[in-house]
Amino acid sequence: MTRIYLDHASSMPIDLRVYEFAKPFLTSSHGNPSTLHSVGLEARRAVEESRSKIAQLIHAENENTILFTSGATEANNLAVKGTALRNISQGKTVVASAIEHMSVLNPMKDLQKNGYTFTTLPVDASGIVDLKKLESILSKQTILTSIMYANNEIGTIEPIQEISTLVHETGLYLHVDAVAAAGRIPIDVQKDGIDLLTLSSNDLYGPPGAGALYVKPGVKLQSIMLGGGQERGLRSGTENVFAIAGMGEAARIAHHEMQQESTRLIPIRDRLIKEILTIDQSYLTGHPTHRLPHHASFRFSYIEGESILLNMDMYDIQVSTGSACSSKTLEPSHVLLAIGLKHEEAHGSMVLTLGRSTTMEDVPIVSKATNETVQRLRKLSPMSQEWRT
């Protein structure tokens, strides 16, 4: 049995080219980028070069728009709290779609406890945000609206340009969590009209331990991490040079290879979807066409996601059931509830995120394993016994 890893949204292997590129920053060029000697300067150059490669991936105005953080969670926290605190004189209202990652929703809930108004924006059954509702809730006091480029659990790509136009007609800033989309589909922060954008190294086949926040020139942001004043005073703490250098190289490679890789993955994704949907009472979650090239997500009636994950693992196929980040709770995914699924429907989900190791030969193996898993679990499920009688 060869391993088929289909959980790239939770964690990706580091690209070996990236690893080779970044290795010296753990060994020979290990300097602190804030020091002035030659070993420190080597590290500083690597950080600045990485900034420039990341700016190119998202077509940012210049490299100074990129701030490094420890990961996407920190970048999302910085975007939400950093803008809310700094722009309090303009208003105290923040908005997020109901399907944002918890690292956006929880800082907004925290702001709410401290006197801000937090409004969630509904999405339709395919996960697209309700633009009419957005238009109606925006006000001059809306200092931040956060809508993700694409959702990590259901693969739906949001109409960011339309959202940006609406936000800027009335409100102040648009923040976009692009963790799931970056390196998969082209992103142009200038054309898309984005003020702040979150990226994660590991979601680009880079090392874990680095993330980035794009901050458009002129956007007012306050630091939430205080200390030695690194990253122009906006994010203190000694830079993780290995992870940052690796992230830049990963972004450079993704920029070059993205189109070719998407063209390769789309037919594999579509074939997987077609085959898995032949299973009785199986449904695609997310948008059928406006979805990420590497993303196939489903729900199966009468069974339960954790059992699906564990059964698939017995075939050495790794899948996810909703968000890996919140799987410690037994609550169904907030994303699946937001697209209108009932609790029992939301429990039976399986998310496949394809990657560079995925091939067309995997499709029959994965669909056969899924079919056997679903049939086996349904035989055991009290819910499905009721359905049959």
Amino acid at 125: A
Min separation Cβ 60 and ligand PMP, Å: 19
CA count, 13 A, side-chain hemisphere, 217 = 7
Catalytic residue ranges: 325
The size of the interface with ligand PMP (CB under 6 A), counted in residues, is 14
Q: Which of residues 75-114 bind ligand PMP (CB under 6 A)?
A: 76, 101, 103
Residue 289 CB-density burial (10 A; 0-12 exposed, 13-18 middle, 19+ buried)? exposed
Q: How far is the CB of 100 from ligand PMP (least distance, A)?
A: 8
CA distance 323 to 346: 12
Neighbours of 132 (CB within 10 A): 8
Q: Within positions 170 to 199, which residues make up the interface with ligand PMP, using CB under 6 A?
A: 177, 179-180
Neighbour count for residue 356 (Cβ, 10 Å): 15
d(C-alpha 18, C-alpha 22), whole Å:
6
Nearer to ligand PMP, 201 or 384 (CB): 201
Instruction: Answer yes or no whether residue 72 interacts with ligand PMP by CB under 6 A.
Output: yes
Kindly state the tokens that stand for 301. 């009636």
Minimum CB separation of residue 295 from ligand PMP in Å reads: 11
Nearer to ligand PMP, 50 or 152 (CB): 152
Considering the rule CB under 6 A, would residue 353 count as an interface residue with ligand PMP?
no
Q: Which of residues 199-228 bind ligand PMP (CB under 6 A)?
A: 200
CB of 200 to ligand PMP, least distance (A): 5
State whether residue 185 is helix, strand or coil.
Answer: coil
Which residue has 């931040």 as its token pair? 144
The piece of 68-76, 133-141, 270-278, 302-310 that touches ligand PMP (CB under 6 A) is 68-76
Identify the residue among 325, 337, 365, 383 touching ligand PMP (CB under 6 A). Answer: 325
- 6 vs 377, beta carbon nearer ligand PMP: 6
- Strand duo 211-215 + 317-318: pairing: unpaired
H-assigned helices in the chain? 16-22, 38-57, 72-86, 102-113, 131-137, 160-170, 189-192, 241-276, 305-314, 334-338, 343-346, 362-380, 382-388
Among 93, 126, 152, 381, binds ligand PMP (CB under 6 A): 152
Using CB under 6 A as the binding rule, whether residue 71 contacts ligand PMP is answered as: yes
Q: Could you list the residues that contact ligand PMP (CB under 6 A)?
A: 9, 71-73, 76, 101, 103, 148, 152, 177, 179-180, 200, 325
